[in-house]
Amino acid sequence: MSRRHLGDKDLAANPVGYLLASCAGCINVVAHLTARELGITFKKLNITIEGNLNPAKLLGDSNDERAGFKQIDVQFSPITDATPGHIENWIETIKKTMPGKR
């Protein structure tokens, strides 16, 4: 979602961007701790995070949907010697370990 959809001029981060960044930071810590426990080492790890929300309620334009994220997508791009099976297990372990997971 563009920051312009939230009413700003896209000149700096807004609270929604900070929320996604803090979520990515938490995921990064859990990802590295989990990798260490599983014996996986990275040459590099990129984490991409995107959130899907409808700003209509936030901006007072609609009451049809609840405010907040409908979905948050996380993508891992590890550079590692680990096998695809180990990476799949690592990601599943992260999902189970993340604080706040329902």
Ranges of each domain in the chain = 3-97
For residues 37 and 13, what is the distance between their CA atoms, to the nearest angstrom? 34
Q: What would the pLDDT profile of 37-49 be if each residue is shown by its tens digit?
A: 999 999 999 999 9
Residue 65: pLDDT band by 50, 70, 90 thresholds?
A: confident
Asked whether 90 and 40 are in contact (CB, 8 A), the reply is yes
pLDDT of residue 42: 95
59: tokens are 């901006």
Of 3.90.230.10, 2.40.50.140, 3.30.300.20, 3.40.50.300, the CATH number of 3-97 is 3.30.300.20
Asked whether 31 and 76 are in contact (CB, 8 A), the reply is yes
Asked whether 46 and 77 are in contact (CB, 8 A), the reply is yes
